[in-house]
Structure 1
């Protein structure tokens, strides 16, 4: 305990002995530090708080086109709002950094201004729609720092206005861009749908008989045509049998009835007359030449009869065919309407045959002038007419059968083409459905984009609201002078203690009995004070003067350095006086 007391007493004696080595360095250091702290330029900060308000209309009803994290959008807005043009405009409008314009480039001034702008997000714990807790940005502060309070306030207000205007412009531009883009897509898809409809219509027009929905009808029609073919074949077979039967009956019936002249001689029919003349011609040909009058007469009679018989046979054929077509037309009119193709064709054929009959009737005929010479057997005429009608019926049935077979082949082709047509038709339908689905989907998107655009126009979507406008700063935000003065005081005290400690450490002499007793371990019986000579007293005074002059020199040198390299002393003086007046 006594040892500790002695050590403390030694330190106290050393401090008393070298108190001026402590006072002068500590005071000089604190004075210089205080001058520097007071001379530092005051930096004022003005800030504004902007609230990120959510969409007023529920998002379940209308979705906005502006999505993504708030932090990303704020960063994007900052980059666009605080571009070179805007910042240079603010710098010129409020006269910022005039003292640096002669020594700094424009880019350096811009970089300096950007460093003085601060955007800090304010986050809060929120619960998402899925019930999951998370952290979200609900507001942010925008601040600007500078030397002059009024400039700081004006600049902060301008920056906030730029930020809010850029946010509105971005949102409206994005909503409009989205709406225009979707409208263009909708027009393209509308054309695609119309093209698909046109391709389907053209495909149906070309392959309408082979479409999938007509497959069942084609099969039914094919079955019906097959039945008609079978019926026509059976009809042709029946008509062929009837023709054979009628031809057999015709062979047993004489062609003409026997007619007699007034003298009782039988009158021959034209066919018999022609046969007789041909026999006479052949008989005379053996005894007479071709130029003999009898031969020439017979030859002329034969040619005349052949011509007349040909004309008469043609007229008979026309009559028989006309009769057959009339019966067929009557049958068709009972089954179909007047505009049916078969009815129209039958009427045309009847009209054509009647015209041919009229033309044939106009031809001069010797036989027709004398009916008695051409009187035929009614039974023969009836059978022959039936045969001719049967032949025409067979011909008509064969024509109908050919048409039916052609129709059958067509429907077989329709059915065979069905799978390929169905595949292509399904592809066209699929393309149409895809285009139509895309069109409907895009149409819904266009409607949503239009609603989102109206949200932005009415300013009811997510928006930034200024809740705390910037105010004129009255107290500088930095430097923190009281704190710096405390630090300067601590450092100056430490420097004084350090100087005293170094001086004491380098001094090897004994100055008190306590130190002597501590070194020798023997108690000191008495202390004889040191008697200084005149020379020592003079040297001591000289040392004190040198110390004082050194301190004055250090202070003067520090003031000179401060004046030349940091701030002029007159400005420091006025700043110090201004601070003191404010404090008082």
Structure 2
């Protein structure tokens, strides 16, 4: 809503408000300091209640229920937690906790009966379930007390009690069921184990010919047939190339060369004069007569002449077979060896495939005997096996169990009283009290505060303004007033910091901070 009165508009200007606060600063400072003092006192002296909470997750059975069915009663988790709560929060357990952590040992509880202590402890403990998607999958344990360390320790101890008690109850149920069935199944289990051993021994002795291995054997056999076909085709191709190379060698069209693409010179035959002469000519075109290879070939030619092996008739007999023919012959030998190995493997797998029907019949007979024995005692045996597995599962903690998801931690701030709210209320009360007093004083003040106010009130222009004449005494008082104001503002700031630390950080952390600052200063 728009204010039409010019005088009211003048009062709402920031300049007027700031000037008023400066003139009446002590009305703001003093209530604010008093409020901070009261708030700090309350923050230190009010009895503090700390709270610690631990969250426990209800983990489902780790082993899939399709494989292992627990014999422990599957009551609702919420009902089971309520049952465990009644056991754990019993008088015996709570007395143990009271004695363990020396609870209610303060002088104010000196005349308190044990029953009252137990009831007080039980009242400060809260067990609450957490439901997700219509299922209870977690629950929390909360404890309240005055000592934060004891609050944390008691909460964690209660969580341990819940976890241990749940494991004991489940294991006891599983063991009881197993013991009941054990007496009826000793002889039956022995016969079944004997039959199982016979069946396993048969499978081991006939490994490779079992029915479930037939498909694998057929796939391997098909692969071996393909390899045999490839090797036989390669053998035919190699034999054709060998015949062609021999034909070329007989007609003189094939020379002794390295494999295709290899252009490096080969070592000449030491018994072939023609080859030695050709190599000598090649080397002499590149090196001098003092080159070691030239000297070596000349010596070989001299040795041939001395031995009389340089005749044209003997030269062809000493010439070796062309390397192309040698490579093809070696390829034929390797391929022939592969074909023999593959054929041997084919015969082995064919025997396995042929023996599979016979093994299947024999295995079916053993399996039928085993199934007949199992069917005779299936109901009782299955229950016993489930009980044994369930006992083992519970002992190894693989069944449904409780696990601490969030462990209780040392509470830093009390839950009662609410320090943040106390801090805000104290600040608001100090400032509100000073502001309210200033508003009342200004509202009740009928004097003029400024020349502008005189003109607006009387509707006449200001002709002259006589200033306030200050003497030395007045100036001294004014200066001291401002010094006192500065000291008061500094004190208020320090008190505000202290109160904020007490309210937001706690007494212990505030004292630790003060100690650190003191050490730094000293």
Q: TM-score, normalised by structure 1?
A: 0.40
Larger radius of gyration: 1
Higher helix share: 1
Q: TM-score, normalised by structure 2?
A: 0.44
